[in-house]
Structure 1
């Protein structure tokens, strides 16, 4: 009997390919997709994707969607509390494993495993260790379609935001940009492919810029770092 699990769902290509692997393995039964939405923004974190589009994806995939709401303070403490509550709801349904689309970030993998273990849960990483060039090539070869919905302004030209990823676009990316954006260079939204019953209809309205400030300690001094991110306003 397939093992009942949940999948952390951002709406992006890595989560989608992880879902593809899981559903084709015959070992797992995907009980639901799980997305954390900002209660103030009604959007997915750094992806900037509206809740309604995540719901449209789930509907086309034919998989139930569970949404957790992140308080407006967006703090790590609040996020971890949200995830503890979510883990508790999973265990009440006899689900003790959550799958993630991470590929090579050890610190993030360790963090997920540690926090989920504290909540009595296990983690599964279907894409772990696969070279990102192979991940994106297989994703495209399978016939999935995804747009760049957000990007680091220091890494990507503004005209790449909102574009559908193709081999030609990948060839144009700077050499220091990971082909899957695994270091946070860009994020994506999948709108069509083999698992979708129908194409998610989307319309690119505009490209927005958002500026962020955060502090780091360097040489015993606190420095303020400013960064700019582009977001595709997709409806």
Structure 2
């Protein structure tokens, strides 16, 4: 099937896109909902930090990017989304995918949901209205093994936001998921956090994956404290990229030498 990948900049949507393509489906476009301003914006549906890198996704994969600014708010917070609500942020997703259909033919949409029924049922609602299939290859997976699988598949993603007990902005922001894997497992056992961060414990920015022909580089960044005070036990902060670029990927030949 020809599919559109919902991308947020994070590891889950990127890995879902990778698995969907690996299964023989054809990636024909990227769909992204962005906040009106750079930085962190409250949303129940969409990751809003790291949005400045999305344009580079399109260039890195040589795939068209379709974006829409988030206008709505999470008005309908029920677990089911049976009645469409004007002004709800879910309708931004519907309008984006409906607009894409006017110029690109596709039969499916990939989504990076793992255990969030809230997100999945809303994505399913939108896809049903558009007559396309929702593909959620990560759905229901055990998070520890899933994160290890992402790392082994060469997904390079860094922690771009932290918001959980045991995660320290000064120590953990900017570290890769490979560097953080053991520590995240420890925090899971100690505090019960979601290893993949689906509970909002942390968010990521994907810098490289098998579908990228070029690698994203953060050339300049700043650390932003979220809110007016730092929580003593679970401080919230994120990386705001200021300047980014793309670098050619180093490919090793059969002898292990770069070429």
Aligned to 2:5: 7
Distance 1:201 1:171, change over 3 A: same
- 2:96 — aligned with what? 86
Taking the aligned partners of 2:96 and 2:114, their CA distance within structure 1 comes to 23
Q: Following TM superposition, by how much is the alpha carbon of 1:47 offset from its aligned partner in structure 2, in angstroms?
A: 4.2
Q: 2:167 aligns with which of 156, 159, 179?
A: 156
TM-score when normalising by structure 1: 0.80
Secondary structure, in 3 states, of the residue corresponding to 2:19? helix
Does the alignment pair 1:129 with 2:151? no
Deviation of residue 88 (structure 1)? 1.8
Equivalent of 2:194 in 178, 182, 193: 178
Shift of 1:13: 1.0
Q: How far is the alpha carbon of 1:48 from its aligned partner?
A: 1.3
* Structure 1 unmatched ranges of 5 or more: 213-226
Pair 142,207 (structure 1): closer, same or farther in 2 beyond 3 Å:
same
Residues 54, 134 of structure 1: CA spacing in aligned structure 2 closer, same or farther, 3 A cutoff?
same
Corresponding residue for residue 219 of structure 1: none
CA deviation after TM superposition for structure 1 residue 181, in Å: 0.6
Contact 1:149 1:162 in 2 (8 A): yes
TM-superposed CA distance for 1:84, in Å, is 2.4
Quote the Cα distance in structure 2 between the aligned partners of 1:91 and 1:120. Answer: 11
More strand by share: 1
1:199 alignment partner, SS class: strand
Deviations 1:39-98 (A, max 9, x none): 2337785441143x1111221122211111113x64543423322212322433333422
Superposition CA RMSD, Å: 2.5
Q: What is the correspondence of 1:49-60 to structure 2 with a 5 Å cutoff?
A: 49-51=50-52, 53-60=53-60
1:119 is displaced (CA, Å) by 4.3
- Structure 2 portions without partners, runs of 5+: 76-86, 229-233, 244-259
Distance of 1:181 and 1:42 partners within structure 2: 19
1:48 aligns with 2:49: yes
Deviates more, 1:188-197 or 1:4-13: 188-197
Seen in structure 2, the aligned counterparts of structure 1 residues 7 and 155 have a Cα distance that, compared at 3 Å, is farther
Structure 2 length-normalised TM: 0.74
Does the CA-based 8 Å contact 2:161-2:236 persist in structure 1?
yes
Any conservation in 2 of the 1:6–1:99 contact (CA below 8 Å)? yes
Q: How many residues align?
A: 215
1:98 aligned to which of 67, 87, 109: 109
